[in-house]
A and B are shown apart, each in its own frame.
Chain A
Amino acid sequence: MSLSAAEVNKIAWLARLAIDDDKVEAYARDLSQILGFVEQLGSVDTSRVAPMAHPLDEAQRLRPDTVTETDQRALFQTHAPLVEAGLYLVPKVIE
């Protein structure tokens, strides 16, 4: 499995992750190497194996649908980079 620079850029965009242009080739090389390493998984027949999502195969707990959280917006916004009137500010999205 070998990834091209264009594929790395595509994945980086899916992950919303800026990669410096001069590092794309290095990432392509590293990622290709890692994908090559995990390729050996394909050699095992797992057609009759159920995937294991939880180490103990435990079901998710349920709880009564009652309010357990209090409003802490002001506290949570104290470490936001940019807020105004209780809102998080981002660059203009709609013209």
Chain B
Amino acid sequence: MHRKTIAELAAGLERKEFSSVELTQAHLARIERLDPALNSFITVTPEIALAQAGAADERIAKGEAGPLTGIPIAQKDIFCTKSVRTSCGSRMLDNFIAPYDACVVERFNAAGAVMLGKLNMDEFAMGSSNETSYYGPVKNPWNTGTVPGGSSGGSAAAVAARLTPGATGTDTGGSIRQPAAFCGITGIKPTYGRISRWGMIAFASSLDQAGPMARTAEDCAIMLQAMAGFDERDSTCVDRPVPDYRAALGNSLEGLRIGLPAEFFGAGLDPAIAGLIQDAVDEYRKLGATVKEVSLPNMHLSAPAYYVVAPAECSSNLARFDGVRFGHRCESPSDLADLYTRSRGEGFGAEVKRRILIGTYALSAGYYDAYYLKAQKIRRLISEDFRRAFEEVDVIMGPTAPSVAFEFGAKSADPIAMYLSDIYTIAVNLAGLPGMSIPVGFANGLPVGMQIIGGYFSEDRLLNVAHRYQQATDWHARAPAGIAD
């Protein structure tokens, strides 16, 4: 059963080939057997999963099932879950049980999905390798000596290892797309505002966006359908109708205009990856697409702008963790200042501290204009680059990451080297555009992802473009040897 996609599992449930309880038990057994070597889950929730599966089977029996009813999924541990610990990968929240469900969790519950557990991640989603998690790094199922990417590394590894057919992720600078690429799965970061951030622990509020991670574009479409849509509790959630994502999947790509930005293929890109992207683009030519070069001249400024905007917003958002109302509190504080500083000093790991310090500096008196305001202006230049490009093309394609998954420790001593692993994904967040990553081959035995970027609210088009490729190729169906058999 673990080899099937969400769409296939839903068909099997409908035909009564197996029950949701059986399906859930099969996945829980795989988690128990395989996850000790991967560490993709922080918390497994078998009791909740089996209760939800039982309820889903009743719903299916009554003929009231939707496309996710009875389907096991797992939540990134950044989404608040009532009655289950939400750690955000941090010691700070090691003891935190949220008093409510995140909007995304509510919507999966309403759809009748089954929650297998909460997935490992970089601490507060700050990292590109999952090495910053308080709960230890996640291993890449394709080669357990390499990282799964981050910050949604647990989500990507669990989907790749067939521990769950689908998982949620969040993407602030590439945290869905880069791990999807490293683990050989499909993931989409929707347009900013498409999915409610309510109950999703904030990192950088003007960039954070949730999205689905699964093995196929079709499965991402099914999950996104449940996740997307207006929620008045998130003041930046956009009130705009949600199209039928599945209905658009099969549309012809005849006449599709693909743009390849020269800036995505410069120095620093692994030549093997560049070759595989060209192969994938050739496949699109066969499907009827035309290809032209486009230019994103301010692309090189996206990482520097991001490392002002994201830490600034992080330092502000993480000010709420004060050791008073929830989260970690130090032992025997001598006074209020000691309570604040020591609770935060003990609760946060090194990378989170670095970002809080950078953000605090950038926002401090006398520096605001030079850093934050400047970065917000650069952000508009980057956004304008995309706007001009989308006057000429329908989608932009390029690598998701400059390399395949790297070894543990390879970049952890050098923050800038780590930040540059998101060099192709960050600009998309700064502009608020949708972007996805799909598997397009292997280099050195490790998966390579191609990024597809579209205009605002073009998720239906991106999923269609990804789906047609997946109908013509089988890279997305490859599974890591041993683990996924």
B17 contacts partner chain A, Cβ-Cβ < 8 Å? no
**Residue from A16, A51, A58, A60 with most neighbouring chain B CB atoms (10 Å):** A16
The contact of B373 among A12, A51, A56, A79, by CB within 8 Å, is: A51
Residue among A44, A52, A75, A93 facing the most chain B CB atoms (10 A cut-off):
A52
Chain A residues within an 8 Å CB radius of B238: 56, 58
Q: Are B326 and A80 in contact (CB under 8 A)?
A: yes
A46 touching B431, Cβ below 8 Å: no
Contacting residues, chain B, for A39 (C-beta < 8 A) = 304
CB of B336 within 8 A of chain A? Answer: yes
Partner of B357, one of A12, A44, A75: A12
Q: Is A56's CB under 8 angstroms from B326's CB?
A: no
**B275 CB to nearest chain A CB (Å):** 29
B353 engages A17 (CB within 8 Å):
yes
Question: How far, in Å, is A74 (CB) from chain B's closest CB?
Answer: 10
The binding surface of chain B is classed by DSSP as: helix
- State which size class the interface on A falls in: 35 or more
B341 at interface, CB cutoff 8 A: yes
Residues of B within 8 A of A40 (CB): 300-301, 304
B145, CB-defined interface residue at 8 Å = no
Interchain CB contact under 8 A, B380 and A52: yes
A82 CB, min distance to chain B CBs, angstroms: 7
CB <8 Å contact, B376 and A90:
no
Smallest CB gap from B419: residue in A: A37
Q: Judging by beta carbons under 8 Å apart, are B323 and A91 in contact?
A: no
Question: Is A8 interfacial (CB 8 A cutoff)?
Answer: yes
Minimal Cβ-Cβ distance residue in A for B378: A41
**Shortest CB distance A29–B (Å):** 10
Give Cα A42 to B334, complex, Å: 43
Question: Which parts of B355-371 form the interface with A (CB within 8 Å)?
Answer: 356-358, 360-361, 364, 370-371
**Cα separation A82 to B477 with both chains bound (whole Å):** 51
User: Which single member of B348, B371, B456 contacts A38 (CB below 8 Å)?
Assistant: B371
- Give the nearest-CB partner of B333 in chain A: A91
| Residue of A with least CB distance to B384 | A49
Residue B128 CB within 8 A of the other chain: no
**Per-residue B-contact encoding for A1-37, CB less than 8 Å = 1, 0 else:** 0010000100111111111100000010011011101
Complex Cα distance A7/B323, Å?
A: 25
Q: Complex formed: what's the CA distance from A12 to B337 in Å?
A: 12
- Give complex CA distance A90, B334 in Å: 10
Is A75 in contact with B99, judged by CB distance below 8 angstroms? yes
Partner of A91, one of B336, B375, B383, B433: B336
Give CA–CA (A53, B430) in the complex, Å.
10
- A15 x B356 contact (CB < 8 A): yes
Whether A85 is near chain B, meaning CB under 8 Å from some CB there, is no
A14 lies within 8 A of B360 (CB): yes
Does the CB pair B354–A27 fall under 8 Å?
yes
B336 near A93: Cβ-Cβ < 8 Å: yes
Residue B264 is within 8 A (CB to CB) of chain A in the complex: no
Q: Is B442 an interface residue (CB 8 A)?
A: no
Closest A residue by C-beta to B315? A15
A67 at the interface (CB under 8 A from B): no
The answer to whether A52 touches B416 (Cβ under 8 A) is: no
- Chain A: minimal CB distance from B469 (Å): 27
Residues on B with C-beta less than 8 A from A55 are 192-193, 206, 383, 430-433
B residues near A76, Cβ cutoff 8 Å: 99, 325
A80 near B345 with CB under 8 A, answer no
A11-B357, A34-B354, A75-B99 given; A49·B325 CB < 8 A: no
Residue A86 at the B interface, CB < 8 A? Answer: no
Contacts of A15 in B (CB 8 A): 315, 319, 344, 356-357, 360
CA gap between A92 and B338 in the complex, in Å: 12
The listed residue (B191, B193, B375, B416) touching A33 by CB distance below 8 A is: B416
Bound CA span A27–B238, Å: 39
The contact sample of 16 A-B pairs, CB cut-off 8 A, is A15-B315, A16-B319, A16-B322, A33-B416, A35-B358, A40-B301, A46-B374, A51-B376, A54-B206, A55-B431, A58-B193, A61-B239, A72-B99, A81-B326, A90-B333, A93-B335
Closest 10 CB pairs of A and B: A55-B432, A18-B345, A51-B376, A81-B329, A46-B377, A52-B380, A16-B340, A18-B341, A15-B360, A49-B377
- Please name 17 further chain A to chain B contacts, defined as beta carbons within 8 Å, in addition to the given A34-B415, A72-B99, sorted by A numbering: A15-B357, A16-B319, A17-B341, A17-B345, A17-B348, A18-B346, A44-B298, A44-B301, A46-B374, A46-B381, A51-B379, A51-B380, A52-B380, A53-B206, A63-B232, A79-B99, A81-B329
